[in-house]
Amino acid sequence: MSQTLGITMGDPAGIGPEILYRAWQQIKNRLKRPFIIFGTPSVYSKLNIDVTDEFLSCIEGPSDICDYQIGLEGSVSGELAYAFLEMSVQAVINKRIYAILNAPISKKAIALTQPGFLGHTQYYEKLLGRGPALMSFYGSEFCLCLLTHHVPLNEASREFMSLDLKELFLRGIYGFKKILGRDIRVGVCGFNPHAGEGGLLSRGEEALLQKAIDDLKQQGFMIEGPIAADSIFIPRIRQQFDLIFACHHDQGLIPFKAVHAPYGLSLTFGLEVLRATVDHGTAFDIAGKGVASCESMMEAWELMDRICL
């Protein structure tokens, strides 16, 4: 098995390149595994950052200084970011890397040359998926899994009703059990307000949840729900759980980011390799100014370095 971590630089016009280098400077003496960065070394000339030869030697990708501007979202940097993703997929196929760590991308910038692109999760799910991918998040207060991907709210119920919930629950439980190193307590949000009000506000979503939860309880898993989403994230309730499953995107990510930003991490289970990224975006408005926090990247990098050992 490869001992090398694969890292994508993200959108080179965003904060990805600088937080990667600053994170590495902070943690390099603690890292146990080698790494490859799929990116462009020339971005550091644009940023006027004098990076070390040790770091530059770990970057694979085009060295030409392309026509994009730091801090501006556009098709050129988006096309480069997509190329870095393609390189990471090929590295997995060739068994060069054991896991993927992504710096942030702009979905809009990539979609300018790759119509229909919706983000890391769907991209890797299509090319490296072992069944449905599970978008997940690691934080110091609680961990989170999202049962549906990036879909409009008016489509969320239809997607949800087609899911194998038991499979997704097990994927998240076993994934975080490996990360946390112990059996975990799990809480599940109801799909609808007030967990469906006993069926009054539900079109069958809560009944589907209840069946999957009951099945797992009978197998000995510590899982509770469905619990109203406007209650489960209250501190005294969420502290009863290590992992919470949310049914759709903002239902889970609003409270997760309110508690953990800017230090939360995004994980994807269900791929050929584990994949992680920072829980923030490209921040074009502060790119190149040297003020972007690298804390989330440091935490993500060290987690990925540790989890597969």
Q: Residues 39-49: pLDDT tens digits?
A: 999 999 999 99
More confident: 97 or 140: 97
Q: With 60 as the cut, is the pLDDT of residue 201 above it? A: no
Q: Would you state the pLDDT for residue 202? A: 62
Of 245, 246, 247, the closest CA to residue 156 belongs to 247
| Residue 40 near residue 62, CB atoms below 8 Å | yes
Topology match between the domains 1-131+271-309 and 140-262: yes
pLDDT in tens, 203-227: 778 999 999 999 999 999 999 999 9
Q: Exposure string (b/e) for 216-250, b if CB count within 10 Å is 16 or more?
A: beeeebbbebbbbbeebbeeeebeebbbbbbbbbe
Domain spanning 1-131+271-309: CATH 3.40.718.10: yes
Question: In Å, how far from its chain's centre is CA 72?
Answer: 23
User: What mean pLDDT comes out for the span 5-17?
Assistant: 97
Using pLDDT thresholds of 50, 70 and 90, give the confidence band for residue 309: very low
Q: Answer yes or no: are the C-beta atoms of 213 and 224 closer than 8 Å.
A: yes
What letter would DSSP give residue 199?
G
Confidence of residue 63 (pLDDT cuts 50, 70, 90): confident
Which residue did the predictor score with more confidence, 148 or 262?
A: 148
DSSP single-letter state for residue 43: H
Task: Yes or no: say if 259 and 139 are a contact pair by the CB < 8 Å rule.
Answer: yes
What CATH number is given for 140-262 in this structure? 3.40.718.10
pTM (predicted TM-score): 0.84
Question: Rounded mean pLDDT of the chain?
Answer: 92
pLDDT band at 199 (very low <50, low <70, confident <90, very high): low
Percent of the chain beyond pLDDT 90?
A: 78
Beta strands at 129-138 and 143-146: parallel, antiparallel or unpaired: antiparallel
* Lowest-pLDDT choice from 120-124, 138-142, 157-161: 157-161
All structural domains of the chain with their residue ranges? 1-131+271-309, 140-262
Give the full edge-to-edge strand order of the sheet including 35-38: 59-60, 35-38, 5-8, 99-102, 274-278, 265-271, 129-138, 143-146, 243-246, 186-189, 223-227
Give the pLDDT confidence score for residue 20 in this predicted structure: 98
pLDDT at 80 over 90: yes
- End-to-end Cα distance, the chain: 11
